[in-house]
A and B are shown apart, each in its own frame.
Chain A
Amino acid sequence: MSTRRTTLVVREAVNKAYFKPVLFLAVALVLATAISPHFLTIRNIRAILISASPLMIVAVGEAIVVLTGMIDLGCESVLASSGVLIATMDLMLRFPTFISFTLTLAFGLLIGVLNGLLVVRARIPSFVTTLGMYWGLRGLAMVISQGYPISPSAVSSSVSFSFQWIVSNFRGIPVMVIIAFAVAIFAQIFISEFKKGREIYAVGGNELAARNCGVNVDLVKIQVFMVSGFLSALAGIIMTAWINQAYAWTAQGFSLQAVAAVVLGGIPFIGGFGTVIGVVIGSFIIAMISDLIVLLGVSPLYSYIVTAVVLVVAGLQVQKGKFVK
Chain B
Amino acid sequence: MSHLLLEARNISKSFGAVRALENVSLSLERGEILGLVGDNAAGKSTFLKILAGVHLPDHGELLVEGKKVVLRNPRDARHMGIEMVYQDFMLAPNLDIVANIFLGREVTRWRVFQKLEKKKMKERAAQVLEELGVQFKSLNTLVMNLSGGQQQMVAIARALLYDPKVILMDEPTASLSVRAIEPLLQLVENLKERGCSVNYVSHRLPDVLAIANRIVVLRSGRIVAERKREETNLEEIVYFMMGLDRKEGDA
Q: Using a CB–CB distance below 8 Å, which chain A residues touch chain B?
A: 193-196, 198, 201-202, 204-206, 208-215, 272-273, 322, 325
Q: Is the CB of B92 within 8 A of A212?
A: no
Given A198-B99, A198-B116: A215 and B104 interface contact (C-beta under 8 Å):
yes
List residues of chain B with CB within 8 A of the CB of A195. 106, 108, 114-116
What mask results when residues 126 to 159 of chain B are scored 1 for a CB within 8 Å of chain A, else 0? 0000000000000000001000000000000010
Q: Is the CB of A209 within 8 A of B91?
A: yes
Min CB distance, A208 to chain B, in Å? 7
List residues of chain B with CB within 8 A of the CB of A206. 90-94
Q: Is the CB of A194 within 8 A of B114?
A: yes
Compute how far the CA of A217 lies from the CA of B38 in the bound complex, rounded to whole angstroms.
Answer: 33
Given A210-B104, A212-B54, A214-B75: A194 and B115 interface contact (C-beta under 8 Å):
yes
Q: Is the CB of A198 within 8 A of B74?
A: no
Min CB distance, A139 to chain B, in Å? 37
Q: Is the CB of B93 within 8 A of A205?
A: yes
Q: Is the CB of A202 within 8 A of B114?
A: no
Given A212-B74, A213-B104, A214-B73: A204 and B116 interface contact (C-beta under 8 Å):
no
Report, nearest first, the 4 A-B pairs whose CB atoms are least far apart: A213-B104, A205-B92, A214-B104, A205-B94
B113 within 8 A of A: yes
Q: Is the CB of A209 within 8 A of B90?
A: yes
Compute how far the CA of A205 lies from the CA of B78 in the bound complex, rounded to whole angstroms.
Answer: 22
Quick one: which of A193, A201, A208 contacts B95, CB cutoff 8 A? A201
Q: Is the CB of A198 within 8 A of B106?
A: yes
Q: Is the CB of A193 within 8 A of B116?
A: yes
Total contacting residues, chain B, CB less than 8 A: 27
Quick one: which of B90, B106, B115 contacts A212, CB cutoff 8 A? B90
Q: Is the CB of A325 within 8 A of B94?
A: yes
Nearest A residue to B103, CB-CB:
A213
Q: Is the CB of B103 within 8 A of A204?
A: no
27 contacts between A and B (CB under 8 A): A194-B114, A194-B115, A195-B106, A195-B114, A198-B95, A198-B103, A201-B94, A202-B99, A202-B103, A202-B104, A204-B94, A206-B90, A206-B91, A206-B94, A209-B89, A209-B90, A212-B52, A212-B54, A212-B74, A212-B86, A213-B90, A213-B103, A213-B104, A215-B104, A273-B94, A322-B144, A325-B94
List residues of chain B with CB within 8 A of the CB of A208. 90
List residues of chain B with CB within 8 A of the CB of A325. 93-94, 144
Q: Using a CB–CB distance below 8 Å, which chain B residues touch chain A?
A: 52, 54, 73-75, 78, 84, 86, 89-95, 99, 103-106, 108, 113-116, 144, 158
Min CB distance, B103 to chain A, in Å? 4
Given A209-B103, A212-B54, A214-B104: A194 and B95 interface contact (C-beta under 8 Å):
no
Compute how far the CA of A325 lies from the CA of B103 in the bound complex, rounded to whole angstroms.
Answer: 19
Nearest A residue to B155, CB-CB:
A209
Min CB distance, A266 to chain B, in Å? 13
Q: Is the CB of A214 within 8 A of B78?
A: yes
Min CB distance, B187 to chain A, in Å? 21
Nearest A residue to B90, CB-CB:
A209
List residues of chain B with CB within 8 A of the CB of A202. 92, 95, 99, 103-104
List residues of chain A with CB within 8 A of the CB of B105. 213-214
List residues of chain B with CB within 8 A of the CB of A213. 74, 90, 103-105, 158
Nearest A residue to B52, CB-CB:
A212
List residues of chain A with CB within 8 A of the CB of B95. 198, 201-202, 205
List residues of chain A with CB within 8 A of the CB of B108. 194-195
List residues of chain B with CB within 8 A of the CB of A209. 89-92, 103
